Structures are given as structure tokens and as C-alpha cells.
Amino acid sequence: MKGLAGKSVRADVVAGIVAGIVGLVVIVVIWVSLVFPAPIVSGGGGILRGNDIALREHEWGFAGGGYALAKGGPEICADSNNATLNIALTNTGINFHGFQVVRADTGAFVAGLNKTDLLSRGETRHIKIDVSRIAPGSYYYICPVAGHRQKGMIAPFIVQSGC
């Protein structure tokens, strides 16, 4: 093979240059995806209302092993006129999961389980949320386990009168 200067270039040198360029492109793609992540899509459909709500792990984010396709869970509308919202959580997945209500604007914890109070595989937990202590407005419910929110375990939690 002839190079730009008319000299012969060995095939292994050409292969090394091509591999280096491909590697550089892969590194740039990874860097761009880390610096500019895709937006989180939340609200996988439906609105849950009432004083008693039941959620399974796959209903509010993860769907089996297809985490990249998760769209988040259904919106929960909590009536500010009702004092208590009862949520039954069942972890049907293989990982630990938690449940927290956080402010939409700051991400600050509002209600739910402590960050370290997680449900193990097959566990069901009943959570009571005092809605009267939460100001009307827009919130999210999330799984606080590292990376789970980014993989789809986030959905709207709305507090308003008359849900």
C-alpha cells in the first residue's frame, strides 16, 4: 500500500491507525453521553387517586431487565383535603428499592422512606404519608438507590385539592 509520500505503508500500521481513530470516536461518544445525558422521561401513564394506592416495582419505573426503556410510573395525585395517603409498595424486582417524595424544583426530601430504608426482593411495605404536611404543588416520587432515578424510577406526585 502506498502512503501520501509515495512510500509503502505496512498493513499493520494502517490497522493500528484505523483502530486508534475508532477508539477515539467511541471515547468521544461516551464523553458526550455523560456530559449531556438524555432527559428523564417520567409519568409512564395513568393517574392514581384515592387514599389507598398499591405499586409494584415494575409499575413505577423498571420493567424487568429493560431498564433503558423505562418511562417512569403513573402520576400520583394526593388530595390535600385528605390527611393520610396509604401506599403499599411491593418490590417485584431483583434489586433493592426505596420510595421517596421529593420537591420537583430542588429534589429535597418531602416524605417517604429514608434513603437507606430499602425494600428487598419480594418485600411489601405499607407507607403512610401525611398529606396535610405537604404544601400543594408538584413533586416527584423516586427510588433513591443510586442510578435508579436516572433509569426511570421517577414519576409525578401532585398535591392538590380534589384529586
pLDDT of the residue at 95: 87
Transcribe the chain into DSSP letters: -B-TTS-B--HHHHHHHHHHHHHHHHHHHHHHHHHSPPPPP---S-EE-SSEEEEEGGGGT--TT-GGG-----EEEEETTSSEEEEEEE--SSS-B--EEEETTT--EEEES-TT--BPTT-EEEEEEEGGGS-SEEEEEE--STTTTTTT-EEEEEEETT-
Question: Higher confidence at residue 159 or residue 56?
Answer: 159
Give the separation between CA 155 and CA 148, rounded to whole angstroms. 12
pLDDT digits 0-9 by tens, 2-20: 555 566 778 888 888 999 9
| Domain coordinates in residue numbering, the chain | 1-37, 47-160
Residue with the bigger pLDDT between 141 and 47: it is 141
pLDDT for position 35? 64
Chain center to CA of 154: 5
pLDDT for res 39:
47
Percentage of the residues of the chain whose pLDDT score is greater than 90: 37
Q: Which residues pair with 15 in a beta bridge?
A: none
pLDDT tier at 152 (50, 70, 90 boundaries)?
A: confident
pTM of the model: 0.66
- Side chain identity at 128, as an amino acid letter? K
pLDDT confidence bin for 140, thresholds 50/70/90: very high
Q: For 73-116, what is each residue's pLDDT tens digit?
A: 788 999 988 889 999 999 888 889 999 999 998 889 999 998 88
- Tell me the β-bridge partners of 138: 158
One of 2.60.40.420, 3.90.950.10, 1.20.58.2030, 2.40.50.140 is the CATH number of 47-160, namely 2.60.40.420
What are φ and ψ of residue 16, in 5° steps?
Answer: -65, -40
